[in-house]
Amino acid sequence: MANQDFLNEINKRRTFAIISHPDAGKTTITEKVLLFGNALQKAGTVKGKKSGQHAKSDWMEMEKERGISVTTSVMQFPYNDHLVNLLDTPGHEDFSEDTYRTLTAVDSCLMVIDAAKGVEARTIKLMEVTRLRDTPIITFINKLDRDTRDPIDLLDEVEDIMKIKCAPITWPIGMGKEFKGVYHLLRDETILYKTGMGHTIQEKRIIKGIDNPLLDDAIGSYAEELREMLELVKGASHEFDLQQFLSGELTPVYFGTALGNFGVDHMLDGLVEWAPKPQGRESDLGKVSSEQNKFSGFVFKIQANMDPKHRDRIAFCRIVSGKYEKGMKMHQTRIGKDVRISDALTFLAGDRALLEEAYAGDIIGLHNHGSIQIGDTFTWGEKFRFAGIPNFAPELFKRIRLKDPLKQKQLQKGLIQLSEEGAVQVFRPLVNNDLIVGAVGVLQFDVVVARLKAEYNVDAIYEHVNVSTARWIYSKDEKKLDEFRRKAEVNLALDGGDNLTYIAPTMVNLNLSRERYPDIEFHTTREH
Ligand code: GDP
């Protein structure tokens, strides 16, 4: 039986990630969140941040400074009586496969929306991914210190596009230069904003009660406006409901400015109060509860060559149940081997440190010398595997070719290993010897060529290939599948794990095949 101390450790943990469109303010919120967690004395040192540019240079710089990208991948900090794990996801388009898989390792998400721009493309995509597991979503509407769109419009847009009910927890008063603060609907208090305090934790200026005359003294005619507005808001929006939040149907919404460090703490209060504690995960032998006191976890991300001196790769493992202790033995179920782990890493903000112990909900970094793959399960000895670490159908394709044709074997081996690691996907058409590389973000292509050279000693180049989308193929009907295999052979390929895929030159082609072969399932994701 699990003892109380153990359960307390689980209960106090919250593991979440931020989903947003580039520039909405994810990095800034991360800085402020860490400031509240006392993890950083003065926010602003999360990473040597780009100047408005999200391109290559950003990632390449991070790569150069290797360690830094690790420490920003996972951050753990205390907040009130809780321990929060924030999993970072790259903000730009590239490496979105990593982003997607990271979302399988969290128990809730914070959706950040730019109040001037509303719902943007990338946020929509990431929301779709969170829907695969009905992850609870908290919403922060950012940049209220600028001219924004009407808050009611913004909520309508979130409801329409994201198909999730909005329950405002705070409501903004004014905007831009006239941003006065927010009214907290559940606490019935107004929290006043003061500019120029973004680098600190502001002393709270709170006025209790919506009818308090002090409110009129503080914000003048905005007070009366707010009172009228709230009537409207209460009529037009949803009330917070914990059950609906936990099932992903409703999102609590907060307003503020990350740059001004206002509102982030209200959101954190909601996160630790309502967001789920570490949840169990499905395995092929049934659900594994986080309160089960024996260790288990799964690998959702592998980051290459983070320490140039050791050329190691770190496998990020989400603990599902039990506890990691330094020096413990783990069973790696895919290869059926026991490994003793005494050098797992933890990710206290700003540093990576050797870890003594970690609990369900935490992320540990395992040194990987090539034997760990994305989706691998580690257990205390049981032979089950966790389900649900997805591959996503790539959207970009190139044919990869060798400069020196004699090294075909090395190229193939390198590509398959890189695909097992999740760095890229590889497809081998049934009808020829092409090797087609598929990625979700363009940067993946460059990384693959660089790593093929450094780690497999092959010089490869890309060529155009007439593929625009891919789907994994399934069918319950073996006969129909065989027939499909014969008839559609020119569009079929095997991926890095030998799974049958349909590679389509155009969406039109894909849709036609779908109509023509109704017994064949075309999947946009594949689970490891
Ligand atoms: P990310 O791409 O989502 O990580 O966004 P960043 O945190 O890097 O923010 C993008 C830009 O918006 C930066 O120049 C930030 O300083 C700015 N920014 C972030 N939050 C706010 C805010 O609340 N108000 C204003 N005015 N600017 C903000």
DSSP string for residues in 437-488 = EEESSTHHHHHHHHHHHHHH---EEEE--S--EEEEEE-S-HHHHHHHHHHT
Nearest residue to 172 (alpha-carbon basis) of 183, 164, 163: 183
- Of the two residues 491 and 94, the one the predictor is more confident about is 491
Q: Which residues contact 494 (CB under 8 A, 6 or more apart)?
A: 427, 428, 430, 500, 501
Task: State phi, psi for 425 to the nearest 5 degrees.
Answer: -115, 150
pLDDT of residue 70: 36
Q: Do domains 4-63+91-274 and 281-379 have the same CATH topology?
A: yes
Q: Binning pLDDT at 50, 70 and 90, where does residue 161 land? A: very high
256 CA: nearest ligand 1 atom: 23
Q: Which of 306-315, 323-332, 409-418 has the lowest mean pLDDT?
A: 306-315
pLDDT at 53 over 50: no
Angle between helices 264-274 and 26-36 (to 10 degrees): 70
20 CA: nearest ligand 1 atom: 3
Q: Which residues contact 430 (CB under 8 A, 6 or more apart)?
A: 485, 489, 492, 493, 494
pLDDT of residue 312: 63
pLDDT at 440 over 50: yes
386-405 pLDDT per residue, tens:
986 777 788 899 999 998 88
181 alpha carbon – ligand 1 mean position (Å): 18
pLDDT at 528 over 70: no
Nearest residue to 362 (alpha-carbon basis) of 105, 136, 129: 105
Ligand 1 is surrounded, with C-beta below 6 A, by: 20, 22-28, 91, 142-143, 145-146, 257-260
Q: Annotation-wise, does 107 bind a ligand?
A: no
Q: Pairing relation of β-strands 165-168 and 250-255? A: parallel
pLDDT at 278 over 90: yes
453 alpha carbon – ligand 1 mean position (Å): 37
Percentage helix, strand, coil for the chain under 3-state DSSP, each rounded to 5: 30, 30, 40
- Of the two residues 1 and 79, the one the predictor is more confident about is 79
Q: Annotation-wise, does 91 bind a ligand?
A: yes
CATH label, 393-527, candidates 3.30.70.3280, 3.30.460.10, 3.50.30.50, 3.20.10.10: 3.30.70.3280
176 alpha carbon – ligand 1 mean position (Å): 14
Instruction: Tell me which residue has its CA closest to atom 16 in ligand 1.
Output: 259
* Mean pLDDT of the chain, nearest integer: 86
pLDDT at 90 over 70: no
pLDDT at 160 over 90: yes
pLDDT of residue 74: 83
Task: State phi, psi for 337 to the nearest 5 degrees.
Answer: -120, 150
pLDDT at 91 over 70: no
Contact 285, 386 (CB under 8 A): no
Rounded alpha-carbon distances, angstroms, from residue 407 to 352, 382, 401, 428, 429: 38, 41, 10, 17, 19
pLDDT at 454 over 80: yes
> Would you state the structure tokens that stand for residue 121, as one six-digit string?
């493309």
CATH label, 4-63+91-274, candidates 3.40.50.300, 3.40.190.10, 3.20.20.70, 1.25.40.10: 3.40.50.300
Q: Annotation-wise, does 323 bind a ligand?
A: no
DSSP code string of 279-291:
P-EEETTEEEPTT
Tell me the average pLDDT across 436-461: 87
pLDDT of residue 496: 86
pLDDT of residue 47: 45
Q: Annotation-wise, does 290 bind a ligand?
A: no
ipTM of the complex: 0.99
Rounded alpha-carbon distances, angstroms, from residue 461 to 113, 122, 401, 436, 446: 39, 29, 5, 12, 10
Q: Which of 11-20, 448-457, 504-513 has the lowest mean pLDDT?
A: 448-457
- Of the two residues 198 and 228, the one the predictor is more confident about is 228
Contact 127, 111 (CB under 8 A): yes
Tell me the average pLDDT across 93-106: 77
Beta strands in 265-369 (DSSP E): 281-283, 286-288, 296-307, 312-321, 323-325, 328-332, 337-341, 345-346, 353-354, 357-359, 363-368
Tell the CATH topology of 281-379.
Answer: Rossmann fold (3.40.50)
**Among 18, 20, 23, which residue has the most ligand 1 atoms within 8 Å of its CB, making it the best to mutate?**
23
Which residue type sits at 233?
Answer: V
For residues 242 and 225, what is the distance between their CA atoms, to the nearest angstrom? 29
79 alpha carbon – ligand 1 mean position (Å): 23
323-344 pLDDT per residue, tens:
998 889 999 999 999 988 877 8
pLDDT of residue 344: 82
Nearest residue to 521 (alpha-carbon basis) of 493, 484, 491: 484
pLDDT at 1 over 50: no
For residues 449 and 23, what is the distance between their CA atoms, to the nearest angstrom? 29
Q: Which of 20-29, 40-49, 127-136, 415-424 has the lowest mean pLDDT?
A: 40-49
- Of the two residues 221 and 96, the one the predictor is more confident about is 221
Q: Pairing relation of β-strands 137-142 and 353-354? A: unpaired
pLDDT at 209 over 70: yes
Angle between helices 221-236 and 151-162 (to 10 degrees): 20
Tell me the average pLDDT across 303-324: 76
Q: Binning pLDDT at 50, 70 and 90, where does residue 314 land? A: confident
111-147 pLDDT per residue, tens:
999 999 999 988 998 898 898 889 999 999 999 999 9
143 CA: nearest ligand 1 atom: 23
What is the percentage of the chain residues whose pLDDT exceeds 70?
88
Tell me the average pLDDT across 48-56: 35
Provide the 10 A C-beta neighbour count for residue 466. Answer: 10
pLDDT of residue 436: 96
169-208 pLDDT per residue, tens:
999 999 999 999 999 999 999 999 998 888 888 788 999 9
Instruction: Tell me which residue has its CA closest to atom 21 in ligand 1.
Output: 259
Which residue type sits at 468?
Answer: S
> Would you state the structure tokens that stand for residue 31, as one six-digit string?
């800085």
25 alpha carbon – ligand 1 mean position (Å): 4
Q: Which of 79-93, 202-216, 220-234, 291-305 has the lowest mean pLDDT?
A: 79-93
Q: Which of 29-33, 107-111, 343-347, 514-518 has the lowest mean pLDDT?
A: 343-347
Which residue type sits at 51?
Answer: S
Domain ranges of the chain: 4-63+91-274, 281-379, 393-527
Strand partners, 234: none
pLDDT of residue 367: 85
258 CA: nearest ligand 1 atom: 23
**Among 32, 117, 259, 262, which residue has the most ligand 1 atoms within 8 Å of its CB, making it the best to mutate?**
259
pLDDT at 378 over 90: yes
Tell me the average pLDDT across 361-390: 88
282 alpha carbon – ligand 1 mean position (Å): 37
Instruction: Tell me which residue has its CA closest to atom 2 in ligand 1.
Output: 23
CA–centroid distance for 297 within its chain: 17
Q: What is the pTM of this model?
A: 0.83
24 alpha carbon – ligand 1 mean position (Å): 6
